[in-house]
Structure 1
Amino acid sequence: MSIFEGFLSTPDMLDVLGDARFVAAMLRFEAALARAQAQAALIPDVAAQGIEACCRVELFDVPALVRESGRAGSVAIPLVKRLKEVVQLQQPDALPYVHLGSTSQDVIDSATVLVTREALALIEADLQRAIDALLALAPQHAHTPVLARTLMQPASVTSFGFKCAGWAAPLVRAQGRIAAAAAQALQVQLGGAVGTLAQMKGQGDAVRSNLARALGLRDGGATWHTQRDEWVALGCQLGLLVGSLGKIAADIALMGQYEVGELAEPTEPGRGGSSAMPHKRNPVASMVALAAAQRAPQRVAALLAAMPQVHERALGPWQAELAEWPGLLASAHGSVRALAGALPGLVVNAARMRANIDHLRAELPAQAANEWFDPALAQAAGEQALAQVQALRRQASDNFKPSKKDTAQ
């Protein structure tokens, strides 16, 4: 990633998405495939042990694999070639069984799923932090009056706690949707050259089941080489999350303008400063989230556009899809990590919120001021906020409870 992309994500995510981590995931697939085939009596146990011993990323020149992938058309091709060279040197009797009955898309898709699972764990952890912060702010400020704005103009009085509950709601929903989509999308890929596992001698289903179990992935029961619906659905849910985070960031940035002064992101040395104006407190967390909200829709659109993958293996769309995932995951984690860091320390200036209401009231006829801008209107909004917080906490708790379908399986 470029210097301009890196600071919009996180070091943790960039490490997960790094070339070495992806190659290591591909090697995990190859080792697990050999074990799965040995369990199905397709290859000797000793051959599986030998292949597994050679599937160590330190034995591979990762930059060289990346360079060679351009000419080969797939990073799996130089990887399997190098793996066979290592096996031939160290475990020559196991050589005929390397990558047996599999194909390049099997190893790449499965490795992408493994890496995505790690990436989702980072996103989910920070999403929970953001939700917790908002569900703490909402009751704390349930009855704090603040101007509600529609079409960018003062509309009436609400409560800041009601606003926080409104911010939290789509994040809680996103949490549940991402978990549900991931439960379907994080599945092993194993179909062989054309999806039939013809070289597995009738043991294809058993091998795929063993492989899924070894990698901790779902066995979808069939190949999904060109059936990308469940996989792309996960990307769509990530895009929705980024959009919801962007909405929160836009509100915080507007409420933090000097002329408004109702909110401020937390400060620390080196955060939010200006290269020219020492008085500035730039809302950098909101900036990262808003930048992600600008970038993620294009990534999601590219995933959707790549879905017409012809026949049994795609020429072009699959490769285009693969290239979009790292950017989408990086943007999603950059956004949620930024707000998860800012929301717990959000500076709420309740006095300024009240002053902005009073200033507007002074400029209006008494009847309009009392009807629309009475600070007491925050009381009813606050009661709604408290009820919504309780409902959201229950929903968040339910997000990760196994469904009846899951328990039946």
Structure 2
Amino acid sequence: MSIFEGFLSTSETLAAFSDTNFVSAMLRFEAALARAQAAEGLIPEAAAQTIVGSCKVELFDVAKIVRESGRAGSVAIPLVKTLREAVGLFNKDAAPFVHFGSTSQDVIDTAMSLVTREAVALVEADLAKATDALLKLATLHATTPMLARTLMQPASVTSFGFKCAGWAAPLVRSRLRLRSATKRALQVQLGGAVGTLAQMRGQGAAVRRRMATDLALGDPGATWHTQRDEWVALGCELALMTGSLGKIAGDIALLGQYEVGEVAEPSEPGRGGSSAMPHKRNPVASMVAIAAAHRTPQRVAALLAAMPQEHERALGAWQAELAEWPQLLMSAHGSVRAMASALPGLQVDTARMRANIERLRAELPQDAADEWFSVALADSAGDIALAEVDALKARLSSKEISQ
């Protein structure tokens, strides 16, 4: 993570995808595998206990494992080697059962599901905050008149509540779709060398079910080594959310320009200042969300480009996907955290909104001013906004969001 990326994400997401946390997730896979195989009679119970007892990240030199992964071609190879050595110190008879019947991609994909679950939970929590803030603003300002702009020019009168309801709608849809996509994507990976789990002597499906329960992940019913559709679909949903947040941020930034002055992000010491001009008040939350909206399309394009994977295990495409995935989550959570922090305290200058309308009215013929720029037009926009807020709240309270 470079100095230029850190402030565009969050400390929590950076921690979720840290080397130590990822290695810890891989060890959780190995422990769950040993427990499940012992329960199915594939490995001795004593061996499983030794393996589980050794799967503690604090016992491992994570930096060394990461360094060795470059030469090995996979972080799983030095991890399994080190785990096998650690197990052998306590019970040499247990060492051969480490990682039994599994393969590198099994442990890495499952670990990625585990850490992604942490990151998506963070995204969902902040997405709920941002959505709730917009719904409250839409209700509070349902009939607050403001200029609507089309092609960057004043077009007529709308209401700020109508605008906020429009901002909220795609975020509500993202909450619903993200929940569904997450449930489908976050699954155990267990296929063995070529996806058939041949070494597990017909007990592979039972082992996978036990592991899914143990790790609280889905059981896909089969390997998905080179079938990445559900995984990439989750990435697409995160990118759609980030694009919607970028649109909101772009509007806020435009409305906050000095010449417009209709809204402003919350102000606090150390936020949005300039190194050269002390009078400036930069919309930094909007900046983070806009930056994320610029970055995520390339991440998702890389995920889609990596989908044509060769035969049963990919050479290069899967590895490329792995490198892109954390960056996507980091941008997505950086975006939604920024807007979740800014929207609840968004400062709305209703007097400036009215003044901008009146200034335009004064420059137009009376007929045009009355037809297109009457503040009464905000009333009908407010009715639509309130109806949309009710509909969005109904969707959020329905089974759609709880399933």
Query: TM-score, normalization: structure 2?
Result: 0.99
Please give the alpha-carbon distance, in whole angstroms, between the structure 1 residues aligned to 2:92 and 2:164: 63
Shift of 1:46: 1.5
What whole-Å deviation, never above 9, does each CA across 1:182-222 have from its counterpart, x for those lacking one? 11000100000000000001101100111111100000100
Where structure 2 has 5 or more consecutive residues not aligned to the other structure, the ranges are none
Contact 1:51/1:91 (<8 A) preserved = no
Shift of 1:249: 0.1
Contact 2:34/2:51 (<8 A) preserved = yes
- Return the letter of the residue paired with 1:245: L
Q: Which residue number in structure 2 is paired with residue 196 of structure 1?
A: 196
Please give the alpha-carbon distance, in whole angstroms, between the structure 2 residues aligned to 1:289 and 1:315: 34
Instruction: Say yes or no: does 1:169 pair with 2:201.
Output: no
- Map 1:87-166 onto structure 2 (within 5 A): 87-166=87-166
Q: Which residue number in structure 1 is paired with residue 180 of structure 2?
A: 180
Please give the alpha-carbon distance, in whole angstroms, between the structure 1 residues aligned to 2:397 and 2:76: 41
Shift of 1:5: 0.3
Q: Which residue number in structure 1 is paired with residue 401 of structure 2?
A: 400
Calculate percent identity across the aligned residue pairs.
Answer: 73
Please give the alpha-carbon distance, in whole angstroms, between the structure 2 residues aligned to 1:24 and 1:76: 12
- Map 1:8-157 onto structure 2 (within 5 A): 8-157=8-157
What whole-Å deviation, never above 9, does each CA across 1:283-334 have from its counterpart, x for those lacking one? 0000000000000000000000000001000000000000001100000000
Equivalent residues, number: 402
Please give the alpha-carbon distance, in whole angstroms, between the structure 2 residues aligned to 1:193 and 1:74: 14
Query: TM-score, normalization: structure 1?
Result: 0.98
Q: Which residue number in structure 1 is paired with residue 313 of structure 2?
A: 313
Contact 2:395/2:401 (<8 A) preserved = no
Structure 1 ranges of 4+ moved more than 4 A? none
Contact 2:22/2:115 (<8 A) preserved = yes
Q: Which residue number in structure 2 is paired with residue 369 of structure 1?
A: 369
Shift of 1:51: 0.3
Q: Which residue number in structure 2 is paired with residue 351 of structure 1?
A: 351
Shift of 1:161: 0.3
Instruction: Say yes or no: does 1:287 pair with 2:263.
Output: no
Where structure 1 has 5 or more consecutive residues not aligned to the other structure, the ranges are 403-409
Shift of 1:400: 2.2
Please give the alpha-carbon distance, in whole angstroms, between the structure 2 residues aligned to 1:200 and 1:140: 61
Aligned CA-pair RMSD: 0.6
Shift of 1:39: 1.0
Paired residue secondary structure (1:146): strand
Paired residue secondary structure (2:161): helix
Paired residue secondary structure (2:94): helix
Shift of 1:353: 0.2
Shift of 1:93: 2.4
